[in-house]
Amino acid sequence: MDGTLLVSYGILWVLVIALSLLVFALARQVGVLHERVAPAGALMPTSGPKVGEMTDVMPLRDLGEHALTIGGADADGLATLVLFISPTCPVCKSLVPTARSLASHESRRMRLVFASDGDKTEQHVAYVKDLGIEDYPYIVSQALGMAYAVSKLPFAVLIGSDGALKSKGLVNTREHLESLLESMDSGIASLQDYVDQRRSELEASIKEKVS
């Protein structure tokens, strides 16, 4: 091959690889940026099962090896609040006492279940002891988290006594947790749904007045 051609060929390869690297880095940055700016709050993700859908019955075991089922209609007529937490999540620690107090308030119609994932059983045992939640079932199951598309913690899922998914979302405060119960009582999945509903009602009444 001619000398100039060979050099230009080599340079082109270097440029092609550099450009590919650049494209990959750019795509990665967009992805990371997207994760960072994701809205915080009682966020209801659109992924995972939809509110109102029937949940699947999942036979599971808690840390003490007691069998229990998550999902499906409850024999005792209680709703189930599943709170996904993890020893590595700082917000979870502050939310656990809140969840307990809420659960004891609502104990007549709701049971509280903690869920987490990871292989280190002794870490979970220590975590449960540290938080003082030995009285509540604590499930370590990757399948459970994946079934409800849990991607960020602390995440709560509220399953009605009839087995339908009542509400779910990323929870950070007592208000967020209570909003899940509120959503079950009112039958409105989110504030956005409520606003949409109100807006259409308003628009209808305006139209009526105009005509």
Partner 1 sequence: MIDPLLTKAIALGFAVLFIGAAWHKLSSVGRFEAVLSNYRLLPPPMNRTLALLIPVIELLLGVGWISGLQPRITAIASAALLATYALAIGINLVRGRIFIECGCGFGAASDTEQPLSFSLVARNILLIGLAGMTLVPVAQRELGRMDYVIALATLLTAILLYAGTGQLIKNRAAIRTWRDE
Which ranges in 51-158 belong to alpha helices (H)? 90-105, 121-131, 142-147
Could you tell me the end-to-end alpha-carbon distance of the chain, in angstroms, rounded to an integer? 84
Question: Of the ranges 82-90, 102-110, 138-146, 168-176, which one interacts with partner 1 (CB under 8 A)?
Answer: 138-146
Question: Least separation, in Å, of the C-beta of 70 and partner 1?
Answer: 15
Nearest to 78 by CA among 184, 13, 134, 161: 161
Judged by CB under 8 A, does residue 126 bind partner 1?
no
| Rounded distance between C-alpha atoms, residue 57 and residue 48, angstroms | 16
Q: Which amino acid is at 30?
A: V
- 31 belongs to the binding site for partner 1 (CB under 8 A): yes
Stretch that binds partner 1, among 31-39, 71-79, 163-171, 175-183 (CB under 8 A): 31-39
How many residues of this chain interact with partner 1, rule: CB under 8 A? 26
Put the strands of the sheet holding 165-170 in their side by side order: 138-140, 110-116, 79-84, 155-159, 165-170
113, 80 in Cβ contact below 8 A?
yes
Alpha-carbon span 14 to 93, nearest angstrom = 50
Q: How far is the CB of 15 from partner 1 (least distance, A)?
A: 11
Nearer to partner 1, 40 or 146 (CB): 146
Minimal distance in Å, beta carbon 209 to partner 1?
A: 31
Question: Which residue among 89, 106, 151, 163 contacts partner 1 (CB under 8 A)?
Answer: 151
CB 26 to partner 1: min, Å: 8
* Shortest Cβ 78–partner 1 spacing (Å): 27
The reply to whether 71 sits near partner 1 by the rule CB under 8 A is no
HSE-CB of 90 using CA atoms within 13 angstroms: 0
CB of 33 to partner 1, least distance (A): 9
Characterise 79 by phi-psi region: left (phi > 0), alpha (psi -120 to 50), beta (else): beta
Among 7, 8, 11, 23, binds partner 1 (CB under 8 A): 23
Contacting residues toward partner 1, per CB under 8 A: 13, 16-17, 20-21, 23-24, 26-28, 30-31, 34-35, 44-48, 142-143, 146-147, 149, 151, 192
